[in-house]
Structure formats: structure tokens, C-alpha cells
Structure 1
Amino acid sequence: MRWDIFGGVFEYLFLLVVFGAYLFMLIWIVLDLFRDRALGGLAKAIWLVFLVFVPFVTALVYLIARGSGMADRAQARPEQAPEYSEEYVRSVSFASPADEIAKAKALVDQGILTPGEFDALKAKALGEKF
């Protein structure tokens, strides 16, 4: 009786791991499809239709036919990421403290800011606590 319970639990856990690996493989294939810029939209749609209706066979065919390309795209992705992130940081970063102070001074000259507000902005731009 105890071995039947153990066998059932073992079988359930084994099937759970296999199903999880299968889902991971399908998700990885879909991500690779959308990551590939050389593949056209119609070809991507056909792969997705086959993945929905004949998933196991299509996944095996995809891995055999496009497996080396998957590795190349996965390897190229981290190499491109720092370039994009550095470029993004440069595009959204704030100006230098001198530029911030100059802008605040122009606002004071226009009468938009008070001298107290200017001092607070200047301290903030210089990283001082106010």
C-alpha cells in the first residue's frame, strides 16, 4: 500500500516536471519567433498556428530546423542590451548641475521663482540637503 502511494506521488511529480519543461520550451519558441527580425510576419503566424494545433511535433521541427539560430539570437541579446540601456540612460538623464542652476536662475530673472525657491533648487542640483 505504501509503495502505491509513493509511486503515485512520484508519477505525479514526474509528469509535473515534464509538463513544466514542455511549457518552458513552447514559451521559449514563441519568444524566439518574435525576436527573429529576419523571419516575416506570415511565417511567424504559420509557426504559431502549428504550435497551437500540433504543438509537440511543431516544437520538435522548430528545434531541429531553427535551433542553431535560436542559440545565435539568445547569445546576441545580452550583447545588445548594454548599448540600448546606456543609450536610454543618456537620452533621459538630467542635465548637469550647472545647467540646472542656470535654468533656475533664468526662472528667477523672469520672476517665476522666488530667491528662496532658487536656493532650494540650487541645493538640490548640487546634492545638498535643504
Structure 2
Amino acid sequence: MDNYPLLNIFWTMLELFLWILWFFLLFKIITDIFRSHDIGGWAKAGWLILVILVPLIGVLIYVIARGKSMGERDVAQAKQSEAAFKSYIREAAADGTPAGEGPPGGRSHVDDLAKLAELKSSGAISDEEYRKAKEKILA
């Protein structure tokens, strides 16, 4: 340990962190190139060649040229995922399957009501959906 001072450990950790950050950014950009629907195949190939062959300059040019639309695509995908999740929750809550006849393992009415209460408190389902699902469970 005497041959490797504390400052060198700090610089080594900083370099490692920057490498990880660099690869994260590179993979994020490559993913965005394939996810982008507003550019054609040849443009995607051109961006990929630029980013892979001249990585530092290619990544900087991509972030400057398409950074704003990259963020917009991320937000749109997050909204789409959230909408799909909420839709799944609503379908599962309004399924109509009685609690005892559901999946194997036999959930009780109490378990189903507790899950419904959690969904309502988290805002995943509305009061009306909660009321309907509760009536189905208790029926």
C-alpha cells in the first residue's frame, strides 16, 4: 500500500467512473439512434459509423445536433410505459374473477381488498374503479 498513495487511488477511481459514464453515454446514443423514427436507415448508418469510428467527436456532434429530440423521445417512452402500466392495473383490478377462484395459492378477500386499497392510495386507479372492483370482490 505504500507504493500506491491515496491521491493515486482517487485518480484511478475517477478515471474508472469517467469510463463507466462514457460507455453509458455511448450506449444511450446508440440506442437512441435505433429508436429514432424521424431519420432513415442511411442516416442511422451514418450516425453509427461516426459514433463508432470517431467516438468522442461523434458523440459530441450527436448530442449537440439531436440532444433535444433525444430527451423528447425519452419522455415520450416514459409516458407510454406509464400509460401501459396503468392500463394493466385497471384491467387487473376490473378483471371480475372472484378472489377464491383466481391464481393458484388461493388469495383471500382481505388480500384483494388490501391490494385495491394500495392501488387507490397510489393513484393508479380512481375512486370509481376502486368502488367497482371492491363490489366485485365482495359479491
Identity of aligned residues (%): 29
Cα offset, 1:59, TM superposition: 0.2
Larger helix fraction of residues: 1
How many residues are matched? 106
Cα offset, 1:11, TM superposition: 1.8
Q: Which runs of 5+ in 2 are unaligned?
A: 109-139
Equivalents in 2 of 1:73, 1:20: separation in Å? 23
2:38 counterpart SS class = coil
Match in the other structure for 2:24: 24
1:26 counterpart SS class = helix
Matched, 1:10 2:13: no
Normalising by structure 1, report the TM-score: 0.63
Equivalents in 2 of 1:39, 1:91: separation in Å? 36
- Structure 1 counterpart of 2:6, which letter? F
Query: CA distance change for structure 1 residues 50 and 124 in 2, over 3 Å: closer, same or farther?
Result: same
More contact order relative to length (CA 8 Å, sep ≥ 6) = 2
Match in the other structure for 2:56: 56
Match in the other structure for 1:124: 101
Q: Which runs of 5+ in 1 are unaligned?
A: 99-122
Normalising by structure 2, report the TM-score: 0.59
- Runs of 4+ aligned residues of structure 1 deviating over 4 Å after TM superposition are 1-4, 86-93, 125-128
